[in-house]
Structure 1
């Protein structure tokens, strides 16, 4: 009889909202480029050091579309353009923009890493970060140094260890020149070209699986029918207008599949629904499009089955056999498998371990994985253990961008015989029969409901405006020029993205 295994299915979710204004062609915010340089490349390139560590990366199509734009050199982003403009040519408006925008980084780990950046930050802080008040305290060389250091701070560790010119720029610390700016601009362009190919290579060698999400990251259950919010939270205030457009949800998924096929040469087996948001209608839709698996949060499983999940003081999980197993939900198009993440352990990486010494944090996570799965493994049964979280947002809170922690974790996982790191598809294949799931209560990975995106006055106003716009689009579709029709539809799909309502309402 084969030894029982803990099959760890780690999924990193990579997402940025679509920052490009389709009317002007300008990128309103720089985060796709900056996270591309600081996080997206290094997260997958790091795995070359640990060939036995397999995992899944979820790459949202709206992120990939923007990365393609940057890689092609066709992205127009004001912050990027000003970062590489000669400081002595900056207009007053541009200098104010630099002072307002170039300190947007984690203070302890990104800004304070560079003494000169820290000096400039403290100077700005002394003027309460008020750009007009800061102006007299910043001279031309200060602007050049700030332009360069603000970009170096958002650079992956690998760029400094593998590229002598990048290392020299970081070591210089101050007194930067226009030639330094131009060098850094060329390096950024070069590095951004490498992001998508790095994921493709890792997938081709079988070390990672790439899953997808609906194209512009909409909340699929609400897109299908926003009244489903009451099933996740009874009594939640609904918008005045009923939004029900499952055809838009289908289009967002179909577009995602096509982009994945174009970039990676195959059809994705898995879909991470935006924010882990699921409903039975969404499961049927995903199955009808050929997806083999999806994933969400353990609280959705608990609500759907009535089975509680909590740990005793030793870290052993109650009902571990119910959480650490795949489920099967039957649909008219055939079954779709679902895995439910361990919320507590996922959140430890995302929100706690940044404050813990890297080796200790890695050891603690391994210990918790072993203890959590122990009740099942000691009976001779293997488990599928999902840990799922954002793959870019946590690392600026870690020293050295989290790389010491990840190296410690991957090294320990490589050496731990009781744990086998798998992609989700590998885990499903090796686990065997999935448990049947008769019903699924709608919800997301945030409090198992949709309250972040619907229910508040601002949220509901946004849904009413979206419904009004959607109706207007349908009414005026016929007779519109093809180019205008295509642009209007694209704007509508962008407007359906989750990130708008994420920022509305009392939560944020």
Structure 2
């Protein structure tokens, strides 16, 4: 076949955002013991949907871990029923905060300063003032919190949830703009306005992503249900497929590993279909863990593609070269691979660790326009150096939630 000229080549960019949270529910009573699911919902999951909605030509893969989607639906049901099983949200709904006991006061204080202070506390003088007061009281012992007024606790609850609001919400919500402008002395009615907004945002997450998928702008993928490391469930020795000297457990195998792995995948398929009204074609394996046996199992479950990290590919190829070393990554990284030995083909995409980590960890320190120019330059260099017959495929895969609190508003 005729080789494409360099000028005819196009770079294919895959953006995959991995949305994940562990299950924060106490299985004995259904209580949420940590608030991270709903906080990320009102900030990151909301903002990511907004950006896609505002740019209809932009496309992405969004991976929802099933246990995260189910927690979002759980929260939505709590707001609808009024039966709140999250301690911090329940305290937000308490009208008379002066009557809180010491344990409840400490819970508010211990919870409501957990954020990136540089980006989410210091820019807001009223919130910073609350923090300074708390530090001053701490100097007199933990028991001094009993002297903090209900008004202080009310203001702290409001400010904590204001700074966790997504930028898209801050720009569009009259409630958020009004409360941030007021700054202090928030009433119970104002607290409940904010509480109601949080409920509306959470309830909208799954429908918004479902709508994006239905119009073809987003592909929704999944992860094994309870986030197991499938290769190790199937065979402990799979660790040595990419790391020949990896230490192994003393036990020879994981009891019932194959059955458990199949169950995690089957339940993920069912959960995804129930939540989004469609089947997942792709799967991001927990922690990007893959093996030959895992690929075969994914094929049996009907998945058409999967993805993992650049290092997995490099270690696997290194093993086949008998230690001779690998050429530059431009010769092997930027293309999907097809699994061998499976009943049905499964394509495997490999993450560009360097570019993905620049978004996740580095660009937050840059000016926005400089970061964008650098990202484009890096892609142009990949295209320029690529020597394969096919267009290069660059897979940018990263956490879709935790990076953004380090970016300036």
Asked if TM exceeds 0.5, the reply is yes
What displacement does 1:239 show?
Answer: 5.0
Q: Does residue 1:253 correspond to 2:262, yes or no?
A: no
What 5-or-longer segments of structure 1 have no aligned partner?
Answer: 311-317, 401-508
Question: Which residue is 2:33 aligned to?
Answer: 28
Alignment partner of 1:218 is 2:207:
no
- Answering whether residue 111 of structure 2 is matched by residue 101 of structure 1, we say yes
Q: CA deviation at 1:228?
A: 3.1
Gaps of 5+ in 2: none
Structure 1 CA distance, aligned partners of 2:269 and 2:207? 18
CA shift, 1:309, in A, is: 6.8
Work out whether residues 13 and 394 of structure 2, in 8 Å CA contact, stay in contact via their aligned partners in 1.
yes
Alignment match, 1:228: 238
Q: 2:305 aligns with which of 285, 293, 297?
A: 293
Does structure 1 conserve the Cα–Cα contact (< 8 Å) formed by 2:335 and 2:392?
Answer: yes
Aligned to 1:238: 249
> Equivalent residues in 2 for 1:78-117 (5 A)?
78-86=87-95, 87-117=97-127
Report the count of equivalent residues: 392
Other-structure match for 2:130? 120
2:287 is the counterpart of 1:275 = yes
Q: Is the 8 A contact 2:105 2:146 kept in 1?
A: no
Structure 1 pair 284–131 and aligned structure 2 pair: CA distance change class (3 A): farther
* Structure 1 contact 309–320 (Cα < 8 Å) conserved: no
The structural deviation recorded for 1:240 is 5.1
Q: 2:192 aligns with which of 179, 182, 185?
A: 182
Are 2:397 and 1:388 equivalent residues in the alignment?
yes
Say whether the 8 Å CA contact 2:206–2:276 is kept in structure 1. Answer: no
Deviation string for 1:406-439 (max 9, x for gaps)? xxxxxxxxxxxxxxxxxxxxxxxxxxxxxxxxxx
State the partner residue of 2:73: 68
Say which of 42, 49, 55 aligns to 1:44.
49
SS at match of 2:158: helix
Quote the Cα distance in structure 2 between the aligned partners of 1:92 and 1:136.
Answer: 6
In the TM superposition, residue 128 of structure 1 has moved relative to its aligned partner by 5.7
Q: CA deviation at 1:235?
A: 4.6
- From 379, 385, 388, the counterpart of 1:369: 379
Partner residue in 2 for 1:399: 408
Change in CA separation of 1:128 and 1:382 when aligned onto 2, cut-off 3 Å: farther
**Residue 138 (structure 1) shift:** 2.6
Q: Deviations over 1:185-219 (max 9, x none)?
A: 11111111100011011111111100000011111
**Hey, what's the Cα distance between the residues in 2 that align with 1:386 and 1:75?**
40
Residue from 169, 172, 179 that aligns with 2:182: 172
Partners of 1:349 and 1:128 in 2: CA distance: 37
- Counterpart CA distance in 2 for 1:363 and 1:387 is 16
Which position in structure 2 is the counterpart of 1:352? 362
Q: How does 1:463-478 map to 2 (within 5 A)?
A: none
Q: Find the aligned partners of 1:209 and 1:300 in 2 and give their Cα distance.
A: 24
Check the 8 A contact 1:221/1:282 in 2, yes or no.
yes
Contact 1:53 1:207 survives alignment (8 Å): yes
Which whole-Å CA distance do the structure 2 matches of 1:88 and 1:321 have between them?
A: 66
Change (3 A) 1:6 1:203: same
8 A contact 2:237–2:248 mirrored in 1:
no
Please tell me whether the aligned partners of residues 334 and 392 of structure 2 are also in contact (alpha carbons under 8 angstroms): yes
For residue 394 of structure 1, give the secondary structure of its aligned residue in structure 2.
helix
Residues 192 and 239 of structure 1: CA distance in aligned 2, closer, same or farther (over 3 Å): farther
8 Å contact kept, 2:317–2:326: no
The aligned counterpart of 1:12 is 17
Shift of 1:84: 2.7
Whether the 8 Å CA contact 2:98–2:149 is kept in 1: the answer is no
Residue 60 of structure 2 aligns with which residue?
55
How far off its partner does 1:123 sit? 2.7
| In 2, Cα distance between equivalents of 1:368 and 1:15 | 28
Tell me the C-alpha RMSD between the 2 structures. Answer: 2.1
Q: Deviations over 1:125-151 (max 9, x none)?
A: 345689715516632221111011111
Residue pair 2:352, 2:396 contacting (<8 A) in 1 also: yes
2: distance between equivalents of 1:83 and 1:200? 30
CA contact (8 A) 2:10 2:383 kept: no
1:4-25, Cα deviation, whole Å (9 max, x unpaired): 1111001000000011112111
Question: Aligned equivalents of 2:326 and 2:172: distance in 1?
Answer: 45
Write the distance in 1 (CA, Å) between the matches of 2:277 and 2:77. 19
